[in-house]
Amino acid sequence: MLEIIKPGLETSIQDYPGRIGYWNQGFPPSGPMDNWSFRLANLLVGNKPGAAGLEAQYMGPTIIFHIDTVIALTGADMMAKVNGNSVPMWQSFLVKADDELVMGPAVSGARGYLAIAGGIDAPEWLGSRSTFHKAAVGGLDGHAIKKGQIIRIIEGSKGEDGNRVKLSSRPEFSSNKEWSIEAVAGPNDDWIDESGHRRFVETKWKLSAKSDRTGYRLEGPDWTFTEKATNKLPENGDFPSNIIDQGYPLGAINLGGQTPIILVNDGPSMGGFICPYTVPSVAFWKLGQAKPNEHFNFEVISVEEAQKRRKKLDSICSIESIESC
């Protein structure tokens, strides 16, 4: 068992790939924002890559262990210490009963991950333990962890300490506060004119502080539209970016007025705004590790290229990326 002494900032239980198969009913997948780091953390301790663990945002929790177990920390560097001593990232190690883990502020990246041998034991809701805050489902009580909560661990796994992720298999976080983010045109790219598309790829878009696991709000220049957006039937709405309610793909760059919002893990599945571009799943780990006021440069790629890059990422998130220390 784990006891939460300090919860950190919106630390939550997540699993991978999350709550799949209910998008058409309005339930997003949730799950870890950076599934690259998350999956590798689980593999380090001997779990299946999707086992439930903790995602800490910006500021990590303080935890006391009531059992001997094996853990691993990946993702953002939160200067973690056990009993006051620094512990390694991207490596599995043993903790003893009564040990205290302290995770501080993220000094690189935005979200840190804690995997525990066996995985976190929380009730499944629609097939997943992932926390979906806005619907108050998943996790322990549908919300971020709280001070004093006891988190149970699935028994039966002794874990594997002394493993590490190969250097070549670790994600590289931005060192200059700029991120290159893949984007695929559509589904409503024909509503934006040529100059609008050119401006999209030439702009350094600023990530607003008004962003969360539902959507990433971007700050930048105004968009310009084709006649399809400006000369349309009244039921499509008054503003050029309005459209009759449509389904949204996960990762859609949703244009609310003049404000682009990337719909991420806890985002809505439909609405009345156009989506000129979509961020493919292969780029989600970068979104998860970007902090407010950092900048995005978009690289437009084909669906086929996005699928190719995703296959490469999935091959990295495998046991072949783990080696003995």
Q: 280 with 145, same domain? A: no
Residue 156 has pLDDT above 90, yes or no: no
How many angstroms separate the CA atoms of 227 and 250, rounded? 27
Q: 197 with 105, same domain? A: no
Residue 136: left if φ>0, alpha if ψ -120 to 50, beta else—which one? left
Q: 42 with 92, same domain? A: yes
pLDDT at 235: 83
Q: 117 with 221, same domain? A: no
Q: 208 with 301, same domain? A: yes
155 C-beta neighbours (distance < 10 Å), count: 8
Residue 302, domain CATH: 2.40.100.10
Within-domain flag for 323: no
Residue 237 has pLDDT above 90, yes or no: no
List the helix and strand counts (H, then E) for the chain. 5, 23
Within-domain flag for 172: no
Within-domain flag for 206: yes
Q: 296 with 205, same domain? A: yes
pLDDT at 107: 95
**Do the beta carbons of residue 281 and residue 252 sit within 8 Å?**
no
* Residues spanned by the domain of 220: 178-315
Final residue of a structural domain among 100, 131, 164: 164
How many angstroms separate the CA atoms of 42 and 63, rounded? 18
pLDDT at 26: 87
Token digits of residue 202: 């030439």
Q: 80 with 26, same domain? A: yes
Within-domain flag for 325: no
Q: 182 with 269, same domain? A: yes
Only one residue has tokens 């039921």, namely 235
Tell me what the mean pLDDT of segment 125-150 comes to: 95
Within-domain flag for 267: yes
**Cα-flanking dihedrals φ and ψ of residue 54, to 5°?**
-110, 135
Q: pLDDT averaged over the chain?
A: 96
What total number of domains does the chain contain? Answer: 2
Residue 120 has pLDDT above 90, yes or no: yes
Q: 135 with 217, same domain? A: no
Type of residue found at 255: L
- First-residue to last-residue Cα distance in the chain: 27
Stated pTM of the model: 0.96
How many angstroms separate the CA atoms of 109 and 15, rounded? 20
